[in-house]
Amino acid sequence: MNELANKIDDLLISWGISSHAASNSVNIIMLILVIIVAILADLICRYIIVASIVKLVKRTKATWDDILFDRKVMSYFSHIVAPIFLYFLLPLAIPDDKILEVVRRFCMIYIVAVLLRFITAFLAAVYYLYSTREQSRNKPLKGMLQTAQVIFFFIGGIIIISILLNKSPMVLFTGLGASAAILMLVFKDSIMGFVSGIQLTANNMLRVGDWIAMPKYGADGIVIEVTLNTVKVRNWDNTITTVPPYALVSDSFQNWRGMEESGGRRVKRSINIDMNSVKFCSPEMLDKYKKIGLLKEYIDETENKVIAYNKQHNIDSSVLVNGYHQTNLGVFRAYLNNYLKNLPTVNQQMTCMVRQLQPTETGIPMELYFFSAVKEWVPYEGIQADVFDHVLAVIPEFDLRVFQNPSGDDLRSLHS
């Protein structure tokens, strides 16, 4: 390049231009040539080298390289070629050391900015690659991506400031140690979100796609995104609730993933029976109950035990208070047990029972406790409703009554 500059200088002098004017003209021409070389290098890199790499990558059977070596990612990387050429060739065109130093600093700043842009695009490609994999789909990768981007931008910002001030980056990092408290205050939410994200991931507390409930924040729905500062929950009414990640660590929330991964979804509901309708079963009542398919075997087996017990203890069965007798409530409870055990929508491998709870002023709560084999919300609610529709309809068959507070019709019937 120096020989080229000398030849241009000699040519200009031979054309009758003065030595001083020729020297200035040579610098301008060399600057134009340096810029042209940098532009040509950029064009060659982008339209020949990068294009060839992209075409070569697309021919491979693997898909990961198509994402990592995407044209956009490689295009960002190719932008670094022109400033590098300018940085090394500008001394040939700018003889003034002060001007050269300023221009080269701007070249360095541009190089750092291009590198940051390339790293951001590359990290986004890596995030997209891992988010498409089944084993990583439910992990909060976006929060990690944002954390890495913040770290790289922070380092890049320090380097750019050090270039502008002509100081070593280590000097600035040392000075930042004294202002760590201020930085922690400014980036408090980001730091807490980063730490909380690590805890949520390490303890497998939360994944994208989980159904969570957090009444304190009005969240009850599916987690659609986990970022550095927020966890987005799409509620069942299609509203979006944002929850800070650290709130999920410091406060309590309910995650329904365990239910979804288990064999069933729990049903726990009770019906209050009027205590005044509970009584011993007469022979006529037992004959009536034997006609119910789910109870015939139970009635016969239990009645044999009753007769054997009373006979063994010489009990006078004519008085129902003496000895052991069946009650309509006990028979009803046995019916509900057999009914649930014969339902195909009930998971028989999990807990299934009918039990009495503590009697209250509103009657005897008869609780059905079982697990629906269907876990989807709408079908689950339908199964639960069908079971209790049947229970309410069958109660009168056992000479029992459901307890409910007197209504207007009840009071009018009493008055009449």
> Where are the extended beta strands (E) located within 106-258?
211-214, 219-226, 231-235, 240-243, 254-255
- pTM exceeding 0.75: no
Residue 273's pLDDT is 94
For residues 242 and 201, what is the distance between their CA atoms, to the nearest angstrom?
18
Name the DSSP letter for residue 398: G
Residue 55's pLDDT is 76
pLDDT under 50: residue ranges of the chain: 1
Q: Can you read off the two tokens belonging to residue 341?
A: 């055990």
Residue 225's pLDDT is 85
**Length of the chain in residues, anyone?**
416
For residues 229 and 242, what is the distance between their CA atoms, to the nearest angstrom?
9
Residue 359's pLDDT is 92
**Contact of 42 with 79, CB cutoff 8 Å:** yes
Secondary structure of residue 374 in the 3-state scheme: coil
Q: Can you read off the two tokens belonging to residue 354?
A: 């009918």
Domains and CATH numbers, the chain: 1-136 (no CATH), 138-261 (2.30.30.60), 265-415 (no CATH)
Residue 170's pLDDT is 74
DSSP string for 160-173 = HHHHHHT--HHHHH
Residue 3's pLDDT is 55
For residues 294 and 336, what is the distance between their CA atoms, to the nearest angstrom?
9
**Contact of 320 with 362, CB cutoff 8 Å:** no
Distances in Å between the Cα of 253 and the Cα atoms of 205, 231, 233, 238, 322 are 10, 13, 13, 20, 53
Name the DSSP letter for residue 17: -
Q: Are strands 265-273 and 353-356 parallel, antiparallel or unpaired?
A: unpaired
Run of H or E including 391: helix 377-394
**Contact of 140 with 223, CB cutoff 8 Å:** no
Q: Can you read off the two tokens belonging to residue 278?
A: 């509970």
Sign of dihedral through CA atoms 279, 280, 283, 287? positive
For residues 188 and 194, what is the distance between their CA atoms, to the nearest angstrom?
10
CA angle 351/353/357 to nearest 5° reads: 125
